[in-house]
Amino acid sequence: MDVEALSVRRHMIGLLLRVTFRSLYNRGQKAVDVAPIRLTITVLLIALIWCALYFMFELVFRNLQRTPLEATVALPLIFNFFFMAMLAMLTFSNAIIAYGALFGKDESAYLLTSPLTPLDVVTLKYVESLVMASWALVLLGLPLMISLAGLVDRSNQALFYGLFLVFFLAFIPIPGALGLLLAWLAARVIPRRAARVFAVLIGVAIMVSIFWGMRSLQTSDDAMEIWLRSFQSRMRFVRAAFLPNNWVASGIDHAIRYQFTEAFLYLGVTIANALFLSWAVVRFVARYFDGALDRAMTGHGEGVRYGAADSGGISRLLFIYLPKPLRLIATKDLRVFMRDPMQWSQLAILFGLLFLYLSNMPTLRIQLSGLGWQLMMPFLNLCAVSLILATFTCRFVFPLISLEGRKLWLVGLLPIRRNRVLWAKFSFAMTITLAVAMSAMVMSLIVLELNVFWSITHLTVTASICFGLCGISVGLGARLPMYDELNAARIANGLGGTTNLLMSVVLVAIVLTGVGVATWRSRFLPFTETPAVSSIALCVFSVLINLIVGLLALRLGGNHFAKAEV
């Protein structure tokens, strides 16, 4: 081995990037070869979302332009908040991805045993996490930035498209570098479970922000003008001169006013800081990488010991209605779920946000002057709960059967009919979704003081939606499984997962249309009066369709699962 030659070209970042691009190319090629329809649909859907966002933002900006005084105040605030939120979200997502890439994957270990410097490895992972963490937000943020060009003369629009794009891209490395630093700190301070801790922290941060935001938005008896001043005063911190979001927002604000000297100054400040921060953080992390990696690999000590209650503990009570073999499977699933913070934390975040929203409803002081709003508000809450349930079942319930793939030999040997395993999965999913969704709906109904008929209707529809969605996810999970895949997120994103998502959304849309029409027709009825028979029939139809679809999906999946060969 020629050590001297190696020492001459110590930095091999070019080679590493080429390999990464080659992997990406192969991935794309495979997607084109194996699943062209899926790829086309994905691209079309992204384009659709992108265009919808573009036209929505453009409409907002054009309306704002009609009232120049409000636009002068609102635009800088909107951009300051937007980039502030981006700064926080991108920092955390970069931290999670950088941590996983640097301290949690075999690739880092492999590269570090090769004649590569830690600087090469850290630089590669920084670039990767920057792209992976930011692409979705960039994709969704670009319509906002580009639609801004609609505010200027048509003759100058080309310049503005470019300028706003540069502003946006120059900003991205700042949260990227902060995220990398956070990942390194996590490896040093809280090794092993850092990614999970990050996920929980993000959730808590979002909830606190929303809680604080809603408190800030609540109106008081004071005049609107006083409230507005007070609100602006509370929001002043986002305009602090040292915050990156303020550089970008100020630069854009100046550009819109054709003050190009100031705009380019802010752009220069953003680029300079992004480059310096990236350079400094990558060097720092590379310099102290060995110690952090060692700590991440060994800092867990002997690991957490879990007690194994043979009776299942609390799980036994939760699934007491199930026969023993099914209870054992459901208990096992619940244990796995509760011991994986990535799973329960996402459920907690989704429903935590919903509970925050519901608990803040009275403080919004919306004038519920007519019965129409009294019915519409709970209906909107039902929509929110249903959509969250659809998200949850697609992400967590659908992969349950696929994840049994490698253990199907065990499940197959159990002294029960194989399709009964599906009922165990279904019971597990129903128990969790029912517990959370029903508590949210009960809270909503109590807060809004809805009458008995509509309270019972909403609770029954919620329970039936849980049934329908869990049935679809378990049934399709068994009909379109990915037994070779161990990653639940990939299973949920596969062809079966996408089909499941579409089916769930269609079911929710049908059910909510039924209940929505009934609600709309009844909105001006006296509070104590029972709705018309046709409205009641629509609600019954909504419940029945959930039950029928759920049962059909379970039957379809059960038949397939009984004959499955792995």
Q: Which residues bind other proteins (CB under 8 A)?
A: 1-3, 5-7, 9-10, 12, 15, 19, 22-24, 26-27, 30, 106-107, 109-110, 112-117, 290-291, 293-294, 297-302
Cβ pair 81, 91 in contact under 8 A: no
Report, in Å, the least distance between residue 301 CB and other proteins. 3
- How many whole angstroms separate alpha carbon 466 and alpha carbon 17? 46
Rounded Cα–Cα distance for residues 292 and 298 (Å):
10
Q: Which is nearer to other proteins, 303 or 526 (CB)?
A: 303
Which residue's CB is nearer to other proteins, number 12 or number 95? 12
Minimum CB distance to other proteins, residue 420 (Å):
33
- From the CB of 486, what's the least distance to other proteins, in Å? 12
State the minimum distance, in angstroms, from the CB of residue 405 to other proteins. Answer: 16
Residue placing its CB nearer to other proteins in the complex, 405 or 558: 405
Q: How far is the CB of 113 from other proteins (least distance, A)?
A: 4
Among 211, 178, 195, 169, smallest CA distance to 89 is for 178
Measure the CA–CA gap between 419 and 100, rounded to whole angstroms.
37
Closest contact distance (angstroms) between CB of 30 and other proteins is 7
Q: What is the 3-state secondary structure (H, E, C) of 412-466?
A: HHCCCCCCHHHHHHHHHHHHHHHHHHHHHHHHHHHHHCCCHHHHHHHHHHHHHHH
Calpha distance 386→45 (Å, rounded) = 22
**Cβ-based nearer residue to other proteins, 115 or 323:** 115
Nearer to other proteins, 187 or 389 (CB): 187
Please name the amino acid found at residue 559: N
Choose between 164 and 289: whose C-beta lies nearer to other proteins.
Answer: 289
DSSP at 394: I
Q: How far is the CB of 205 from other proteins (least distance, A)?
A: 29
> Cα–Cα distance between 476 and 499 in angstroms, integer?
8
Give the residue with the Cβ less far from other proteins, 11 or 215.
Answer: 11
Q: Which is nearer to other proteins, 303 or 307 (CB)?
A: 303
Cβ neighbours of residue 399 closer than 8 Å, sequence gap 6 or more: 477, 488, 491, 492, 497
Closer residue to other proteins (CB): 121 or 174: 121
Smallest gap from Cβ 293 to other proteins, in A, equals 7
Alpha-carbon distances, residue 92 vs 87, 142, 172, 186, 487 (angstroms): 9, 20, 13, 12, 22
Angle at 435 between CA 490 and CA 433, to 5 degrees: 25
**In the bound complex, what is the minimum distance in angstroms from residue 412's beta carbon to other proteins?**
22
Question: Can you tell me the distance from the alpha carbon of 474 to that of 396, in angstroms, rounded to the nearest whole number?
Answer: 10
Helix axes 533-562, 452-479, angle to 10 degrees: 20
Rounded to whole angstroms, the Cα distance separating 341 from 348 reads 10
CB of 289 to other proteins, least distance (A): 11
Query: Could you tell me if 507 and 393 are in contact, meaning their C-beta atoms sit under 8 angstroms apart?
Result: no
Please identify, using beta-carbon distances, which residue of 405 and 550 lies nearer to other proteins.
405
Which 8-state DSSP code applies to residue 369? -
For residues 248-262, one letter each, b for 16 or more C-beta atoms within 10 angstroms of the residue's C-beta and e for the rest, the string is: bbbbbbbbbeeeeee
